[in-house]
Amino acid sequence: MFEILNYLRVRYVSEKAQGIVEYALLLAFVVAIAAAVLTANNTDGLGGAISKAFGKVTTQINSFKATGE
């Protein structure tokens, strides 16, 4: 009886830990790719596009504040 319980405990505990490690590796891979894309070419790449979009929003908010007062 103890052998069966020990087998089940070892089997499921190790699979759970394996799943956690797989998710952690996948998350690290996604973060590394995102960092590489955002910092690779700051003017023409995705990072530049995001920066331009935030700049446009900031300009619109500032112009709204100036005319709204």
Q: Are 46 and 38 in contact (CB under 8 A)?
A: yes
- Give Cα 51 distance to the centre of its chain: 18
* Domain spans, the chain: 1-67
- Write the pLDDT tens digit of every residue in 9-62: 777 666 667 788 888 999 999 998 888 777 766 666 777 788 889 999 999 999
On whether the pTM is more than 0.75, the answer is: no
Residue 47 is given by DSSP the state H
